[in-house]
């Protein structure tokens, strides 16, 4: 979370979008910005998991089987103008990528009542407009990608989680990952998938005239900002932040 | 008679009332852009704020956003029923959907804000 906060500041300084892909060292439940900590702790299967709170909205995500990304966009950048535009830019690109591999991925139209979804702890049990799903026997399909944003003064940060593998027994045992839903479509190595996804984003309609491509940076700008990173990490690790609601 | 509302570039409005307090809300354009509101956190009464300072957060289905004090001053009242009835923000953003009342510290700050035509021009520019 601290690294993503610095990513936002860096994007605002550079005046262009920055993307980070990452994974987790241990199974971790990340709560949405205003989800109640007590509700999470009272949920069967949460005990024993590491807990963090994101600054972004949306539902809780059980990390460890997913590819997590954060994209930071300056507020004055065209992608920063609308929450749905940034959401759709990354989600529609993944849909195209999966379809090229023969999967019937689609963006969900969203449920009629957002209020009912708020009662569901997990992001992957909710359906918002634009979520990426793979059709199933139920109308809501299997959700494999969800994202949420924190809109700051200088930049927008969008967090997202792509479910690569089925989480296995426990809290999210009912969720299916790409490995289970799309085994026939090939392997889903995270680095290759991230690269192909970025290529799809850069080649999208939403990028026309806005983003001409992407470059990978060797090393990390974070290493040059260790003091700020550690200070932000301490803030996000504090009981005050985790228990803010 | 209350004055016409003036607007911050961050989409909050403030209307100076007859009692000298400034009623603050979020513009209809900004409320519409937020869509499907689910949670709001208002500031504490008595808090001293500076113009441009975050005074609360609002969550829609997919995004958490700050809202900011359009002028400096003291928060003297909050619309305490609003977090439990967020539909008021969409139904009546310039009336029952108000957020807080501020006792302005410097009337000149109000004059520096955008009037309605200037704000509408800002919205137009953001839509293109």
**Cα angle for residues B33, B82, B31 (degrees, 5° grid):** 10
Interface membership of B9 toward A (CB under 8 Å): no
Domains of chain A: 2-242 (3.30.930.10)
Interface membership of A153 toward B (CB under 8 Å): yes
**pLDDT at B1 exceeding the cut of 70:** no
**pLDDT at A211 exceeding the cut of 90:** no
Assembly ipTM:
0.85
Average pLDDT over residues A182-204: 86
At B2-48, the pLDDT tens digits run 689 999 999 999 999 999 999 999 999 999 888 789 999 999 999 99
Q: What is the mean pLDDT of chain B?
A: 94
pLDDT band at A57 (very low <50, low <70, confident <90, very high): very high
State the pLDDT at residue B128.
64
Q: What are the boundaries of each domain within chain B?
A: 6-126
Q: Pick the catalytic residue: A1, A105, A123, A163?
A: A123
Q: How far is B36 from chain A (nearest CA, A)?
A: 7
**Cα angle for residues A103, A108, A111 (degrees, 5° grid):** 150
Lowest mean pLDDT among A65-69, A75-79, B124-128: B124-128
Q: What is the mean pLDDT of chain A?
A: 91
Q: Which of A36, A60, A114, A130 would best serve as a mutation to test chain B binding (most B beta carbons within 10 A)?
A: A114
Are A128 and B61 a contacting pair at CB < 8 A? Answer: yes
State the pLDDT at residue A228.
92
State the pLDDT at residue B74.
98
| A68 bridge partner residues | A22, A161
Residue A110 appears among annotated catalytic residues? no
Q: How far is A155 from chain B (nearest CA, A)?
A: 11
Sequence-separated (6 or more) residues with CB below 8 Å from residue A62: A27, A28, A29, A49, A122, A167, A170, A171, A172
How many CB pairs below 8 Å do chains A and B form together?
A: 60
State the pLDDT at residue A41.
95
CA distances B44 to A28, A129, B19, B99, Å, are 33, 34, 21, 12
Report the CATH architecture of B6-126.
Answer: Beta Barrel (2.40)
State the pLDDT at residue A82.
84
Are A114 and B36 a contacting pair at CB < 8 A? Answer: yes
**pLDDT at A88 exceeding the cut of 70:** yes
Are B64 and A151 a contacting pair at CB < 8 A? Answer: yes
């Amino acid at each position: 979370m601290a690294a993503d906060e610095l990513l936002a500041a860096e994007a605002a300084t550079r005046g262009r979008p920055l993307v980070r892909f990452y994974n987790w060292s241990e199974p971790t439940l990340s709560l949405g910005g205003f989800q109640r900590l007590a509700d999470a702790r009272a949920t069967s299967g949460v005990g024993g998991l590491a807990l963090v709170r994101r600054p972004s909205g949306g539902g809780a995500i059980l990390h460890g089987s997913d590819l997590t990304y954060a994209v930071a966009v300056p507020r004055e950048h065209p992608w920063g103008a609308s929450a749905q535009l940034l959401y759709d830019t990354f989600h529609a690109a993944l849909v195209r990528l999966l379809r090229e591999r023969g999967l019937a991925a689609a963006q969900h139209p969203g449920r009629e009542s957002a209020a009912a979804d708020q009662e569901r702890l997990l992001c992957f049990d909710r359906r918002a407009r634009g979520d990426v799903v793979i059709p199933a026997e139920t109308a809501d399909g299997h959700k494999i990608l969800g994202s949420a944003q924190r809109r700051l003064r200088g930049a927008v940060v969008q967090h997202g989680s792509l479910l690569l593998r089925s989480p296995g027994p426990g809290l999210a045992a009912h969720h299916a990952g790409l490995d289970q839903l799309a085994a026939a479509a090939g392997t889903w190595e995270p680095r290759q998938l991230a690269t192909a996804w970025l290529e799809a984003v850069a080649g999208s309609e939403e990028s026309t005239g806005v983003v001409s491509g992407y470059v990978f940076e060797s090393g990390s700008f974070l290493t040059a900002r260790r003091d700020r990173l550690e200070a932000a990490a301490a803030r996000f690790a504090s009981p005050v932040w985790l228990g803010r609601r | 008679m209350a004055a016409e509302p003036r607007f911050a570039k961050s989409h909050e409005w403030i209307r100076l009332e007859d009692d000298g307090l400034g009623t603050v809300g979020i513009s209809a354009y900004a409320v519409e852009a937020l869509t499907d509101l689910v949670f709001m956190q208002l500031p504490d009464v008595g808090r001293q704020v500076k113009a441009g300072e975050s005074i609360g957060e609002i969550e829609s289905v997919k995004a958490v956003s700050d809202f900011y004090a359009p002028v400096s001053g003291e928060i003297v009242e909050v619309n305490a029923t609003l977090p439990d009835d967020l539909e008021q923000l969409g139904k009546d953003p310039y009336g029952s959907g108000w957020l807080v009342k501020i006792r302005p510290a410097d009337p000149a700050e109000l004059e520096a804000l955008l009037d309605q035509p200037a704000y509408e021009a800002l919205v137009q520019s953001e839509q293109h």
